[in-house]
Chains A and B, each alone.
Chain A
Amino acid sequence: QTVVTQEPSLTVSPGGTVTLTCASSTGAVTSGYYANWFQQKPGQAPRALIYSTNYKHSWTPARFSGSLLGGRAALTLSGVQPEDEAEYYCLLYISATQHYVFGTGTKVTVL
């Protein structure tokens, strides 16, 4: 069973840059995993940010970007704002099993 791992927590200063990663236990994450990224604030449903590795939704702020980095999916926040403090999850599609697997989540603190 595939396990998808993210950094448990990251801290960033306002205006700074932070990169979150999403790793698969079965090997390198490629474009074929169609990584999606979500933001979730307490008491709210998740909100979609990035799809298919690096595409932004119409509502996604420009400071969010997705990529592949060193065999992992990555979400970069540039020019971080206080409202970016939240939990972030990745989602990978596992073609071998036709299952989807969420990452363990990263708590981003803006301090």
Chain B
Amino acid sequence: EVRLVESGGGLVQPGGSLRLSCEAFGFTLSGYWMHWVRQAPGEGLAWVSRVRSDGKITTYADSVKGRFTISRDNVKNTVYLQMSSLIVEDTAVYYCVRIDVGTDMVTVDLWGQGTLVTVSS
């Protein structure tokens, strides 16, 4: 079965750090751009970051740039999101998302189940 499984969420104090992981099962991560998307409680979806298949290109939303770092280990079939200087507004469910980018085509087709990050004192 093809799926993404996130882990690493939890309760952290403002100013703290946390690392999320996303492991892929049933397929090889190395062929895909991988993204993180978050959803604050009762709110809509917000794109956070992306990393190219080889890990050499990363992009961030303005709201997390300079505080979050996305990376990947294709041998471990895992994507990471290192979050630091966390603020209350970072509280959300974080989803790992697979996006296939082809010639004149962008296909979002696989979401993980999400992991909850709560930033609170």
Contacts and interface: CB of A to CB of B under 8 A. Distances in A.
Contacts of A68: none
Interface residues of B, number: 22
A99 B61 CA distance: 7
B1 interface: no
Nearest to B97: A46
A55 B109 CA distance: 11
Contacts of B107: 36, 51-52, 55
A52 B106 contact: yes
Given A45-B113, A46-B95, A102 B108 contact: no
Contacts, number: 58
A46 B45 contact: yes
A45 B111 CA distance: 7
B50 to A, nearest CB: 7
Interface of B: 35, 37, 44-47, 50, 59, 61-62, 95, 104-114
Interface of A: 1, 31, 34, 36, 38, 40, 45-48, 51-52, 55, 57, 89, 91, 93, 98-105
